[in-house]
Amino acid sequence: MTDRAEKRPQSDAILEAACHCLAQKGYAEISLREIAQKAGVALSQLHYHYKNKQGLFLAVLRSVADRYIAEIEEELKDLRDSRALFPRVAAFFQRKLDKEPGRLRLFLDLANLSLWDESFRPQMQALFADLADTLEERLLSEEDPDRSHHNLARIFLGALVGISLQAILDPQRVHNAELFQMVPNVFQLAGSPNGSLS
């Protein structure tokens, strides 16, 4: 087996362990030693593959971004009616919150980190831009081809991320299922050419 063949699985194991640990404890509470232990490798291997904590967490952010974009695109690949976009994406976020709250917490933690660490900011900016572009492309309709949906897509994403954050912080008082179901109606109203849901 070549060095390259050996290197790839080990770096992947480290990345997977980092995602798991960060989702459980957050950026501020996790150490590289804990991640190495979870991955079953020596601490020196983390430095070999990712140089330092920042390098590893940048790789985690890239991995999270790539996965979210791929999953959203898979969710929408058979979409034929742009009116179904808002309910479909809202349901996607609700599923992530219900089934993978740790990964959504990880996403929010990395977004918070990017507010303070400029090395993370371009990656997070690109993730939000790609998500918004993915939605915007599918909002364009034949009856209104010149209408710009860029801002609508951004506001819609902001609403879903905001609901997710509130639900994680206060699950007893924030009924996320009800809120996620309400969001599409509001945005379908805002996005319709005549301001009605019909």
Residue 197 has pLDDT above 50, yes or no: no
176 shares a domain with 80? yes
Shared domain for 69 and 142, answered yes or no, is yes
Asked if residue 72 and residue 31 are part of one domain, the reply reads: no
What is d(CA 85, CA 184) in angstroms, rounded to the nearest whole number?
A: 8
Q: Are 138 and 40 part of one and the same domain?
A: no
Is position 57 within any domain?
no
What pLDDT sits at residue 91?
93
The secondary structure element, H or E, covering residue 188 is helix 176-191
The reply to whether 185 and 93 lie within a common domain is yes
The pLDDT tens digits of the residues spanning 79-103 come to: 888 788 889 999 999 999 999 999 8
What pLDDT is attached to residue 1?
Answer: 42
pLDDT at 184: 87
Measuring CA to CA, which residue among 20, 174, 197, 10 is closest to residue 97? 174
Asked if residue 143 is part of any domain, the answer here is: yes
pLDDT tens figures, 123-158? 999 999 999 999 888 876 544 555 567 888 899 999
Same-domain pairing of 157 and 79: yes
What residue type is assigned to position 191 of the chain? G
Residues whose CB falls within 8 Å of the CB of residue 106, separated by 6 or more in sequence, listed in order: 19, 22, 23, 60, 64
Distances (CA, A) of 69 to 25, 114, 188: 24, 18, 22
Of the listed ranges 12-21, 101-110, 136-145, 152-161, the one predicted with least confidence: 136-145
CB neighbour list of residue 28: distance below 8 Å, 6 or more residues apart: none
> Do 185 and 100 share a structural domain?
yes
- pLDDT over 90, % of the chain: 59
The residue count for the chain: 198
**pLDDT category, 185, cuts 50, 70, 90?**
confident
Please report, to the nearest 10 degrees, the dihedral formed by the alpha carbons of residues 114, 16, 75, 83 taken in order. -20
Per-residue pLDDT, 79: 86
Residue 144's pLDDT is 55
Confidence of residue 193 (pLDDT cuts 50, 70, 90): very low
Torsion of CA 41, 46, 49, 53, to 10 degrees: 160
Asked whether residue 31 carries a pLDDT value surpassing 90, the answer given is yes
* Count of C-beta atoms within a 10 Å radius of residue 15: 19
Give the residue numbers spanning the domain of 167.
62-191
Whether the pLDDT of residue 186 is over 90: the answer is no
pLDDT for the residue 196: 40
Of residues 46, 16, 48, the one with CA closest to residue 31: 46
pLDDT value at residue 146: 52
**3-class secondary-structure state, position 115:** helix
44-62 per-position pLDDT tens digit: 999 999 999 999 999 999 9
Q: Do the Cβ atoms of 66 and 112 come closer than 8 Å?
A: no
Residue 83 counted as domain residue: yes
